[in-house]
Amino acid sequence: MNDEAYKMFESVLGPDNVSRDPGLLDAYTYQWLGEMIGEPNRFGPFRPACVTLPSTTEEVQAIVRVCNRHGLKFKAHSTGWGLYANPGEEGVVMLDLRRMNRLIEINEKDMYAVVEPYVIWAQLQAEAMCRGLNCVTIGAGSCTSALANCTSLMGTANNNVSMGYNERNVLGVEWVLPDGEIVRLGSPGSGAGWISGDGPGPSLRGIMRGTFGALGGLGVFTKCAVRLYQWGGPAELPSENIVSMDERLLEYPENARLFVPYFESRVMMEEALARIGESEVAYSTGLLERGLLTLGLGVDNLNSAEMRESLLPTIPKNFFTCLLVGNSARELEYQTRVMNQILEQTAGRRFEMMEQEGFRDIITLFLVKGGSVPAKAVFSPTGSFNPLLCGFFGTRRTLVKGMDDAEEIKRKYIESGLLADDMAEGGWSPLIMDHGHMEYFEHETLFDPHVPESTLALIMLTIETNQSLADKKLMIPFASQVKVARAQGLSVHDSIAAHMNCDYRTWQRQFKQAFDPNDAADSCNYITPKPKA
Amino acid sequence: MALQDYEKSMNYCIRCSHCKWIPFNKIKTKRFSANCPAISRYNFHSYSGGGRVAIAQSLFLGRSEMTDEIRETIYRCQLCGSCQVACHLIGEICEPLEIARELRIKCVEDGELLPEHMLMIDGMRKEDNPFGEPKARRGDWAEGLSLKNINTDKADVIFHAGCRFSYDADLRSIVRGAATLLLKAGVNVGIAGKEEACCGGRAFDVGYRGQMENYADDIISRIKAAGATKLVTPCADCYSAFMQFYPMIRKELDIEILHTTEYFARLIKEGKLKPRGGSSLRVTYHDPCHLGRLGEPYIPWNGTWKKVWGQLNIPDPPKQVRRGTGGVYEPPREILRSIPGIEFVEMERIREYSWCCGAGGGVREAYEDFSEWTALERIAEAKAVGADALVTTCGWCERNFKDALGKRNDDFKVYDITELLMGV
Amino acid sequence: MMEKEKAVGVVGAEHVLDSPEILKRYSCDMSFTPSRTPSCVVRPNSLEHVQALIKLAAEANTPLIPVSSGEPRFRGDTVPTLGGVIVDMSRMNKIRMVDRKDRVAMVEPGVRFGELQTALRKEGLRLPTPLSPRQTKSVVGSCLEREPHIIPKYHLDHSEPLLCCEVVFGAGDVFRTGEAGGPGTIEEQQQAGRRQKIPMEIQMNINRILQGSQGTLGIVTWATVRCEVLPTVQKPLLAASDSLQQLLELAHWLVRLRLGDELFILNDVNFAHLMGTKLEMVNGLKEELPQWILLFCLAGYEFLPQERMSYQEKDASEVAKNVGVPLYETLCTVSANDVLARATSPSEPYWKLRWSGACQDIPFISAFHGVPELVGVMQEEAAKRKFPLSHLGIYVQPVCQGHGQHCEFSLFYDPTSPREAEKVKELYFAASKALMDRGAFFSRPYDLLSEMVYNRDAASREALRKLKNIFDPKNILNPGKLCF
């Protein structure tokens, strides 16, 4: 890369915090889903030009300015998990924000925490819970950056039902724009603390993200306030053992109760979910379909294989998990009675095996904390996965359609033997958000990254599913589509816009042009300033 | 084994960063949530367990070549194994610890050596200990204890002191104390004295596999000759070498192997040993990596991965998933709880996910500042839980803690559990 | 300037108004914004009308000032700064959809709170509403202003309750926000079961940009709003204290623990103005009431409503006891039921004008700990200018599920007295500045305060100007407001 620029990075950061060693850079090239767009190994197609480790907003700004001056592209990541974090072309300067790891403030009365990019959900949650608060630790697990999720990515989580999607769980934000200018969204811009991210006037949160963030394509977020919510459980949930199925709570929280109901049909299940939503009794909800549960939660893969063989037939098809957490014994009692009434109305039955010690403990931990269970379930069996319908937000009449569609299409791919055989029942999702105002479903699909035919099957399945959804005028799941589009060398938005009633690319592209005049921020997961030929 | 033996393993890192943290459900505070000294100190992803896997695969595939920076990265790691514990919570094919060690073996094979490590190996080659101290003085620590000499006498128990305890004068009271406690409990115990050799674990950790193989053979023949039923060591490093490394290189010690804490706990239960206790003290316990997660018995595997249920990967025959759960955790705690006057309080990072003392993997020898920094992180954790003293059961840990504290004129106390048993 | 004939060609002669009386009504409002007479008022009735008007305006370089709500208007945002054509959206007043199952309604900009609530009630739904809005207030207008409503637990975000909308940008393009943008047309979406509830686009959220833009970026032709289940039983309660801190503490815990639905705090003046039915009563209440009053309302819905009320009441009572505040069903002869009824219904005459003739609001957002201090700042500024505290209404509304407080000071005055008006105007500016200096966040600055606010945040100002250039490159929509 450009020596002059590199020397400037060294002078800004100190030589210990910048590197262009090829082997070291390969650690930033190796990535989950690298196999989807490159060789059948984990290395994506593009190695960064160098990696920088800024520790302050000013250092980020300096790096971005050097990039603009020297015509270099840049891309920042926090915890850096997934293809989104990798460069989209040659010559990209990486900003690894690992050194920006300060938890600046927890405001208990206004219920937020101000974090830098490398504060992970598990850290934030631990600090919040001992103050009687909690955060929306996402489905990807506790190891991900709270800031990156809120500003740049997604935000689906089991506790979306009571605490909402993370697009709305961000308050003030500090943002280094692609041209190096710093903008502070909302109240921090006016020097009025972190309490709001909107205004003055039109909210710039609207360009920061939508259902998804810009995935690195629109600058670097350096601080943000993340909303916290009441947590009625104990300050800690001490457990013994560390391995998924073996983990046991030392004491089950007295004001929590786990329900695992099952139903004759998906329609009835959805009906129950909707009622649970409207009654506002659920703290956390989670679908873990039996194919995924058995393949993914064994103590090891051998155990999973046994569970798939012998446990699966004993698990009902249409079940979900629902955790009630009362702030008082009275509240828990009320919630319990409502749940029972809803199950009565919807012919739901209790799947007792999962409500008893053992499953109860790990599912409760999963519903409250996330922990390692989600990653274990999807990665351990085959080494890789990609969700179908990742980004499929539904409502009352569409959730079941999406679920049915994915299952039906996936089944034939399962029969090919190229994917993990979850009986096309690999769904994970919170199912309902904001007490039922939104519904969400994604269908995890496990493939072996070391088997090219397996990866190809995943790609073909995703393409077919997304086409089917578009044909039915249902939402096209962006996070699924962006990866297959990249695998095919297509612009993701070109592949989606054709189905829309207005061409949103016009506006997104103009944001890119206006805020990134030198096209410095790597846009491989966002939008290019000009249409691709 | 060589990198090519990990070809499959190297493809299965998912780049999730679990290797950078203690198990998430165990995190109590942000301050003490990290598990890996290397990534915590040097920050580039290449320093993490996952990063090392990527480096290994890059070198293996010929995408990159060895450079000074990569060599530094490879050696700035205590091989404490916490990355692998965390990694194996979500997978089992990828083995970041083994791959990190293989990288060192490759370095040695390719002549990419660190002078400090060469000095250590030189010492081993000449004097059978990493310090280059005279082999003839190895048994001096036992003077006047009337221990049997297993080179000439039969004993039920071989007491293997290890290099650190044999030569470190500051720790002499510990090793003598341990032997004394065994004698008091009526154990028929013997030592090899000046004939005792290094276990070789430290050589293996810095990439000199052959060096360790020699030592393993030596110990195996000595055990055979002694006709003992138990091998007891106060050194966690040696314990780990016996339990983990030797089976890894297919060298089996046909004898029950016990760390002193295991044996003491057993003797206390049997009523043969009565903890004396001393003044009241609030202590916390540092799980040495080599006694804990790295003390987990290694079960060799020569199998293949096969597919069931479409693409589910399963090992054939069954393969141990190394998560450190089989390490020695309870015995030291049982001892601490049994000592009158001791108030035992846990730190945040314990057992399988304990934070390293900083001394391992050749780091103490080659990167003193990093080693010291790592130790001070642990001391900070001990202080944060309000302990008056940190208790450990490994001479290397104790040495490293004491050195780090000494440099800062910090009089925070570090004890070996034996000292507490004897009544501090 | 856009020729009247051309506007007539779009909407018909009867919907292009330019009589002096009418123009006068749009030339000013209750704020201190200088009046300026528009050239005419046009009243479109469809998306196509709005599109055509914007096209004409762009060709003729004519400012368009969109107006949704009826008089009296307060913020200065619809007073033409540079003249131009008023686009009065009140004819577009259809409720296009109410869906019980998805708890959503689709409304045009002319729909007002009262009408919508009536329609919703029939379906067992309700829309969380700002504190007793004036009868002429447009639902869409309120949403676009980011006006907070009085049910903090349903105030999921400052964007609430807006979901999707259809908008014609100043650039002339039609856009549908959130999931309304596709796949498929709105009709096809609805056939597929979709109800335009997901408010975000893929990687942007145009709603957020439109909200707070005061008609400067686009004209909205319909919007969907998030509705909630109509309670089957309700029990409002009052708490009162001379300590604002104490009631804030109570509010914090009630919101945090999700105890109760409607919840807000008023000072004695605002409470008296809201609840008084006669002037004597207003004055009497001001004298008798404690300084601060909090209303919260317990509710039960479809499932075990009485049981819900029961546990909530017990839990809320415990919270109140811990905070040291008694709860009342009636306070100074005013029943909590009446307060709830008044707070949740549009008022006519508007309660802020009923007893004093005029009112200048100062709305802003504050952190929890800032509220008492900022109240003190306001009172100091009022005292400096000898503005009687008995005319200072204060409204504190926990927003965003307890993540922040909306504060609104209302300066009640007699508009017929120029001296009094001038004094209030001075106080308005001075107090606003003092409040900003002490950490009040003016998230939706109106007209005269815009410059002061945007000068504090030059980076946002520059960013917003870029947005303006994207959505309204010819600056035809409500020019001179905000920072462009």
Chains C and B touch (3+ CB pairs under 8 A): no
Q: Which residues contact A215 (CB under 8 A, 6 or more apart)?
A: A84, A152, A153, A482, A525, A526, C203
> Which positions 443-502 of A are in contact with C (Cβ < 8 Å)?
469-470, 472-476, 478, 493, 496, 499-502
What percent of chain A clears pLDDT 90, i.e. is strictly above it?
Answer: 95
A508 contacts chain B (CB < 8 A): no
Q: How far apart are CA C178 and CA A21, in angstroms?
A: 44
Which of helix, strand or coil describes residue C109?
coil
Q: How far apart are CA B90 and CA B120, in angstroms?
A: 37
For residue C256, give how far its alpha carbon lies from the nearest alpha carbon of chain A (Å): 6
What is the model's pLDDT at position B349?
98
Contacts of C470 in chain A (CB under 8 A): 507, 510-511, 514
Average pLDDT, chain B: 96
Q: Which of C229, C250, C269 is the last residue of a domain?
A: C229
Higher local confidence (pLDDT), B424 or B44: B44
What is the model's pLDDT at position B226?
87
Contact B70/A98, CB-based, under 8 Å?
no
Which of helix, strand or coil describes residue A39?
coil
Extract the tokens encoding A83: 């293809």
Q: How far apart are CA A163 and CA C162, in angstroms?
A: 18
**Strands A170-176 and A182-185, how do they pair?**
antiparallel
Using an 8 Å Cβ cutoff, are C178 and A171 in contact? no
Q: Inform me whether the pLDDT recorded for B124 exceeds 70.
A: yes
Q: Are residues C118 and C203 in the same domain?
A: yes
| DSSP state letter for A182 | E
CATH number of A3-99: 3.30.43.10
At residue B224 the predicted structure's pLDDT band, cuts being 50, 70 and 90, is confident
Q: Are residues C82 and C101 in the same domain?
A: no
Contacts of B42 in chain A (CB under 8 A): 16
With CA atoms as reference, report the closest residue to A153 among A94, A209, A95.
A209
A142 contacts chain B (CB < 8 A): yes
Instruction: Output the CA torsion B331→B337→B339→B340 (10° steps).
Output: -170
Residue B271, number of CB atoms within 10 A of its CB? 8
A416 contacts chain C (CB < 8 A): no
Q: What are A64-96's pLDDT values in tens digits?
A: 999 999 999 999 999 999 989 999 999 999 999
State the complex-level ipTM. Answer: 0.97
Ramachandran quadrant class, C367 (left: phi over 0; alpha: psi -120 to 50; beta: rest): beta
Q: What are A185-219's pLDDT values in tens digits?
A: 999 999 999 999 999 999 999 999 999 999 999 99
Which amino acid is it at C55? K
Task: Please give the tally of structural domains in chain C.
Answer: 5
The residue in chain A having the minimum alpha-carbon distance to the alpha carbon of residue B308 is: A305
Q: How far apart are CA A60 and CA A75, in angstroms?
A: 11
Give me the mean pLDDT over the A165-183 stretch. Answer: 98
CATH architecture of B124-269: 3-Layer(aba) Sandwich (3.40)
Give me the mean pLDDT over the A130-136 stretch. Answer: 97
What is the model's pLDDT at position C1?
82
- The rounded radius of gyration (Å) of the Cα atoms in chain C is 22
Host H or E run for residue A318:
strand A318-319
Q: What are A446-477's pLDDT values in tens digits?
A: 999 999 999 999 999 999 999 999 999 999 99
Q: How far apart are CA C37 and CA C82, in angstroms?
A: 9
Q: What are C72-105's pLDDT values in tens digits?
A: 999 999 999 999 999 999 999 999 999 999 999 9
Q: What are A339-355's pLDDT values in tens digits?
A: 999 999 999 999 999 99
- Tell me whether the omega of the peptide bond preceding residue B96 falls within 30 degrees of 0, making it cis: no
| DSSP state letter for B413 | E
Give me the mean pLDDT over the B375-393 stretch. Answer: 98
A235 contacts chain B (CB < 8 A): no
What is the model's pLDDT at position C84?
96
Contact C159/A507, CB-based, under 8 Å?
no
What is the model's pLDDT at position A38?
78
With CA atoms as reference, report the closest residue to B205 among B60, B108, B326.
B108
Extract the tokens encoding B67: 């450079």
With CA atoms as reference, report the closest residue to A375 among A28, A122, A89, A73.
A122
Q: Inform me whether the pLDDT recorded for B424 exceeds 70.
A: no
Host H or E run for residue C360:
strand C358-366
Would you list the domain boundaries of chain A? 3-99, 103-230, 253-475
Low-confidence ranges of chain C (pLDDT < 50): none
Identify the CATH class of A253-475: alpha beta
Extract the tokens encoding C403: 């993540």
A425 contacts chain B (CB < 8 A): no
**Buried/exposed code over C104-122 (b: 16+ C-beta within 10 A; e: otherwise):** bbbbbbbbbbbbbbebbee
CATH architecture of A103-230: 2-Layer Sandwich (3.30)
At residue A60 the predicted structure's pLDDT band, cuts being 50, 70 and 90, is very high
Residue C241, number of CB atoms within 10 A of its CB? 21
Give me the mean pLDDT over the B341-348 stretch. Answer: 97
Q: What share of chain C is helix, strand, coil (3-state, %, to 5)?
A: 40, 20, 35
For residue A514, give how far its alpha carbon lies from the nearest alpha carbon of chain C (Å): 6
Q: Which residues contact A249 (CB under 8 A, 6 or more apart)?
A: A237, A238, A239, A361, A364, A365
> Which chains are adjacent to chain A, needing at least 3 Cβ pairs under 8 Å?
B, C
Residue C188, number of CB atoms within 10 A of its CB? 14
Using an 8 Å Cβ cutoff, are C256 and C402 in contact? yes
What is the model's pLDDT at position C2?
85
C181 contacts chain A (CB < 8 A): yes
Residue C122 lies in a domain: yes
Extract the tokens encoding C23: 């123009």
At how many degrees (to 10) do helices A3-13 and A57-70 cross?
A: 170
For residue A188, give how far its alpha carbon lies from the nearest alpha carbon of chain C (Å): 9
Q: Are residues C398 and C426 in the same domain?
A: yes
Give me the mean pLDDT over the A145-168 stretch. Answer: 97
At residue A507 the predicted structure's pLDDT band, cuts being 50, 70 and 90, is very high
Contacts of B23 in chain A (CB under 8 A): 242, 371-372
User: What is the extent of the structural domain holding C201?
Assistant: 93-229
With CA atoms as reference, report the closest residue to A24 among A40, A48, A8.
A48
Would you list the domain boundaries of chain B? 124-269
Q: Inform me whether the pLDDT recorded for A532 exceeds 90.
A: no
Residue C401 lies in a domain: yes
Q: How far apart are CA C481 and CA C34, in angstroms?
A: 12
Give me the mean pLDDT over the B404-418 stretch. Answer: 97
Q: Which residues contact C60 (CB under 8 A, 6 or more apart)?
A: C1, C2, C3, C6
CATH code assigned at C320: 3.30.70.3450
Q: Are residues C46 and C70 in the same domain?
A: yes
For residue B242, give how far its alpha carbon lies from the nearest alpha carbon of chain A (Å): 25
Q: How far apart are CA A430 and CA A370, in angstroms?
A: 12
| DSSP state letter for A209 | B
Q: How far apart are CA C150 and CA C253, in angstroms?
A: 16
Which amino acid is it at A141? G
Q: Inform me whether the pLDDT recorded for A13 exceeds 90.
A: yes
Residue at token pair 């208990």: A108
What is the model's pLDDT at position C236?
98
Q: What are A393-437's pLDDT values in tens digits?
A: 999 999 999 999 999 999 999 999 999 999 999 999 999 999 999
Which residues are bridge partners to B83 per DSSP?
none
Q: Are residues C66 and C189 in the same domain?
A: no
What is the model's pLDDT at position B276?
81
CA angle at C337 for the pair C332 and C340, rounded to the nearest 5°? 105
Q: Are residues C423 and C456 in the same domain?
A: no
Using an 8 Å Cβ cutoff, are C361 and C412 in contact? no
Host H or E run for residue B289:
none
Average pLDDT, chain A: 96
Residue at token pair 């993200």: A209
Q: How far apart are CA B244 and CA B253, in angstroms?
A: 11
Which amino acid is it at A19? S
Q: Which of C178, C195, C229 is the last residue of a domain?
A: C229
At residue B170 the predicted structure's pLDDT band, cuts being 50, 70 and 90, is very high
Residue B301, number of CB atoms within 10 A of its CB? 12
Give me the mean pLDDT over the A160-168 stretch. Answer: 97
CATH code assigned at C81: 3.30.43.10
What is the model's pLDDT at position A358?
87
Query: Dihedrals φ, ψ of C375, to 5°?
Result: -60, -40
Q: Are residues C203 and C323 in the same domain?
A: no
Using an 8 Å Cβ cutoff, are A217 and A525 in contact? yes
Q: What are C282-314's pLDDT values in tens digits?
A: 999 999 999 999 999 999 999 999 999 999 999
What percent of chain B clears pLDDT 70, i.e. is strictly above it?
Answer: 100
For residue A232, give how far its alpha carbon lies from the nearest alpha carbon of chain C (Å): 9
Residue C376 lies in a domain: yes
What is the model's pLDDT at position A361?
96
Q: How far apart are CA C108 and CA C93, in angstroms?
A: 5
